Amino acid sequence: MARGSIRKHERAEGVRYEVVVDLGIDAVTGRRRQRSKSFKTKREAQAAMTTWLTEIDRGVAVDHSRQTVGDLLRYWLDTHVRPKTLQLYEDTVDRHLAPGLGHVPVQKLTPATVQAFYADKLAAGASAWAVAACHQRLKQALKTAVRLGIVGAQRVRHGHATTRPAPRDDDVGR
């Protein structure tokens, strides 16, 4: 069960309420992680704390990160892919994923963005196999992002951030 608190601060410009929520221990550094934010009213502070605590309990609360999909894919290739498959995976990432989605922050990646990427690739003449390979690589990298705490597990699992693209008519029967 996550914990949080609300502190009242009286300042020259008025009263502010600071919400501090405990996010647990960072697996890498071993240090305590917290999120805090100030609000003008106690009611706003209570609403924010309730939302954050619910997100933490559901497993969707993550630290803010500016990491892009391109950075995540590069990290995943460097740390999680075996040498025998590295060249094939790098080809998919470098030719398709990095140019199309590499600039998007991982935490801003939406199912609509991914589906638009798949549709653009198919419209540009990419084969259904190539788009399916993109889907697999992106899915694998996002699983790594969940383990690292960059993206909430619920967002990837239930948000269907990587829904398999539908095959084109000319690919049916091959």
pLDDT at site 103: 93
Q: Cα(174)–Cα(162) distance, rounded to whole angstroms?
A: 24
Report pLDDT digits (tens) over 57-71. 776 666 667 788 999
**Is pLDDT of 90 > 90?**
yes
107 domain-assigned: yes
**Is pLDDT of 125 > 70?**
yes
Among residues 105, 135, 104, 106, the alpha carbon closest in space to that of 118 is found at 135
**Is pLDDT of 159 > 50?**
no
Q: Are residues 42 and 74 in the same domain?
A: no
64 domain-assigned: no
Alpha helix locations (H) across 42-101? 42-58, 69-80, 83-92, 98-101
Report pLDDT digits (tens) over 11-59. 888 999 999 988 777 666 778 888 889 999 999 999 999 988 887 777 6
Q: Are residues 18 and 81 in the same domain?
A: no
pLDDT at site 174: 46
For the chain, the average pLDDT equals 83
Q: Cα(72)–Cα(102) distance, rounded to whole angstroms?
A: 9
What residue numbers bound the domain in which 165 lies? Answer: 69-171
CB 122 within 8 A of CB 93: no
